[in-house]
Structure 1
Amino acid sequence: MPATDNGNAVRGRSLWDDARDRLLANKAAVASMILLAAVAIACFLGPLVLPHPYDAVYRDFVKVPASLEAYPREDQIAPALESLLRRGRVTVDTVEVSGERVTARISSSRDIDPRLVRYLDRSDLFRNGEVADLAADGKSATVTAEVRRLHFFFGTDSNGRDLMTRTLIAGRVSLTIGLLATLVAISIGVIYGSVSGYLGGRVDLLMMRVVDVLYSLPFIFFVILLVVFFGRNFILMFIAVGAVEWLDMARIVRGQTLSLKRQEFVQAAEALGVDNAGVLKRHIIPNTLGPVVIYMTLLVPKVILLESFLSFLGLGVQEPLTSWGVLISEGSRNVQGAAWMLIFPSIFLTSTLFALNFIGDGLRDALDPKDR
């Protein structure tokens, strides 16, 4: 470590420090990191604070549009109450709405059964229904209930489930599958490619022919086989995607290893008696991290798109769990009358993909400034 004239040590700058400064100077990459962090926090923490479970069904609010106002609307309360009370075979004379309470005067040609308020409590619009002021002859009474106010900021789907909660839960699934599948692909690809490139010769030839054979097989073939053997579940997704996407990583790392193993520091390690595993662990793999990190940021959006495509085909995650691909698939079938079912999941998916791609471009420029 160099020292100044007064004897104080000055800390030198590493290449990683320079790369970090170049990355932070890239406004698009920094904005993308902030956006990606916001999306991730919203997806993982948002469902914990939202009032609606992702699998809760509101039968009275099927395909309601996105709105900042609470449901039901004022003009919907009286007709809904009358419809529910008619199931109890009574006549609704008057309905008054006062704030969060609604009062109805009812009459009937026969005795009124107080249990008719169960129709109100079973609905999604009212709660705490009571029968009061029952007449002596049992032919008239007053029914009171509380209006249940619900917010659906992204609207609801075709089953009456809150789309905002489901979009955030879908983000959890898509981001988790993207990260896990990428880690699987990176782990397999780095180890396979570095071993193949470092050992060389017939071993390299055989290992690369295996990669070529796997390249020739269609991706969907692997997925169908995994579905047959393991069934449709969450774990299957990142195993299926990661088990195929490592092929590109293996070729990239192999090319880097072929150039690194001719470097002086690798030859010096071999001359000192370091075994092959030690050379790979200490010298080859650490020096391939730059391209690996860049490829990883570009692989995550690719994996998310693949998962969305598989979910669109019905081979992905299953209900009631969901992903952005599942929501987009459902939204595309209802785009004519319920466009919000397609718009909100698409916004989250596209913004995440753009952010990851901009981060990948920023890392590429930061780690390889000569390529700018």
Structure 2
Amino acid sequence: MAQGAVLPVETMKGPVAGRSLWAEARGRLLHNKAAVTSIVVLGLIAIACIFGPFFTGHPFDRVYSEYVKVPASLEAYPKPDQIEPNLERIGSRVRAKPENIVIGDDSLRVTLVSSSSRPIDERLLAYFERSDLFGTAQVVERLEEGRRLVVDVPIKRQYFFFGTDTNGRDLLTRTMKAGQISLAIGLLATFVAILIGVIYGATAGYLGGRVDLVMMRIVDILYSLPFIFFVIMLVVFFGRNFILMFIAVGAVEWLDMARIVRGQTLSIKRQEYVQAAEALGVETKGIIRRHVIPNTLGPVVVYMTLLVPKVILLESFLSFLGLGVQEPNTSLGVLISEGAKNIQGATWMLIYPSLTLVAILFCLNFIGDGLRDALDPKDR
């Protein structure tokens, strides 16, 4: 083509759209297989914890007195070796001896023989309905003037895939409920910590001078307070509840966030766009809100994914000590504490909550590593 020739209009393309920092970070994050897998797994765990208790068929606080510390099983309870002892127990209350027991899939037929010369009081058959194993008994045949009763009894089939605890509550449902509370405490406490830490650190770093000195000395003083002592004081004055947990943890964990944001702000406030905003007369709060805080979000997002597992571990530690979530609610720390006490006779009480906690922590750590690599300016 001759020098100076003009390209035809139809061959000229429009301006090439640039990619933002967040678009590039998202692309790098999606190429991190470990981070993407962790996001999917954590999402599935969160969905299971939120909606799973509605499909297990067991309320998280329902007590099955006949199923105390039964092992995890894929088969339905009651097992055949559980039926006859319970029939004997109910028979003693009815004042009759069970004979000719025929067990079917969903019902059984049994002959009750009176232990005295008097007929069996059929009102006492209500003990079958009060049991966790049986339904309402129906009299099929009356013999010997009511001293022998042939009875059909429905069998209540129950599934305990994770077994039950020391009170006879379904461990699968309680593990899901515990996951709800642990994730909620982790996210809420992290939100409180980030909200306080980002605002506090950005303000201290941007204002500088004596204001920065005084604000950071306050942070140093709060650092010197023992965390457990702080939580015990809150428990003594306000009692133990769910809201107190994330307030207590979040009110301590914001100190690290404040220092991180302050360090970022000290470098950001020397940038040309901040100086230009100052020259144009933009107010201090406007510069902090529109220029300083948005440019610190990269480290904040990474720290958030690392703070959530830290908060969950702190909550688990406090619940293990008895300072956390109280009955009938539960958390992974509470379940692990109960499982540790019963590890010799009921290992499933420790295994399943521990595996759930480990899976959540691994996912959050992998996501944090992926975000750190995606937002690292040296990798751009």
- Against the structure 1 CA distance between its residues 88 and 321, is the aligned structure 2 distance closer, same or farther, given a 3 Å change threshold? same
Q: 1:35 aligns to what? A: 41
Q: 1:199 aligns to what? A: 207
Q: 1:175 aligns to what? A: 183
Establish whether residue 128 from structure 1 lines up as the match of residue 149 from structure 2.
Answer: no
Equivalent residue letter for 1:225: M
Deviation at 1:11, TM superposition (A): 2.6
Deviation at 1:371, TM superposition (A): 6.4
Give CA-to-partner distance per residue, 1:253-309, whole Å, 9 cap, x none: 000000000111000000000010010011000000000000000000000000000
Distance 2:97 2:173 in 1: 39
Distance 2:81 2:348 in 1: 23
Q: 1:94 aligns to what? A: 100
Distance 1:154 1:92 in 2: 32
Equivalent residue letter for 1:55: D
Q: 2:271 aligns to what? A: 263
Establish whether residue 280 from structure 1 lines up as the match of residue 268 from structure 2.
Answer: no
Distance 1:14 1:212 in 2: 37
The structure 2 residue matched to 1:142, chosen from 139, 150, 168, is 150
When the two chains are superposed, the root-mean-square deviation of aligned CA atoms in Å is 1.5
Give CA-to-partner distance per residue, 1:138-172, whole Å, 9 cap, x none: 22111221011000000000000000000000000
CA contact (8 A) 1:86 1:92 kept: no
Equivalent residue letter for 1:13: R
- Superposition map of 1:106-255 within 5 A: 106-108=112-114, 109=116, 110-135=118-143, 137-255=145-263
CA contact (8 A) 1:66 1:153 kept: yes
Establish whether residue 105 from structure 1 lines up as the match of residue 105 from structure 2.
Answer: no
Distance 2:345 2:85 in 1: 23
SS at match of 2:136: strand
Structure 2: 5+ residue runs without aligned partners? Answer: 1-8
- Superposition map of 1:61-100 within 5 A: 61-100=67-106
Deviation at 1:356, TM superposition (A): 0.3
Q: How many residues align?
A: 370
CA contact (8 A) 2:109 2:151 kept: yes
SS at match of 1:133: strand
CA contact (8 A) 1:117 1:131 kept: no
Q: 2:300 aligns to what? A: 292
Distance 2:375 2:37 in 1: 18
Equivalent residue letter for 2:132: D
CA contact (8 A) 1:85 1:119 kept: no
Deviation at 1:175, TM superposition (A): 0.2
Deviation at 1:49, TM superposition (A): 1.7
Deviation at 1:53, TM superposition (A): 0.2
Equivalent residue letter for 1:100: D
Distance 1:318 1:88 in 2: 39
Structure 1: 5+ residue runs without aligned partners? Answer: none
Equivalent residue letter for 1:315: L
- Against the structure 1 CA distance between its residues 368 and 81, is the aligned structure 2 distance closer, same or farther, given a 3 Å change threshold? same
Deviation at 1:10, TM superposition (A): 3.6
Distance 2:206 2:140 in 1: 86
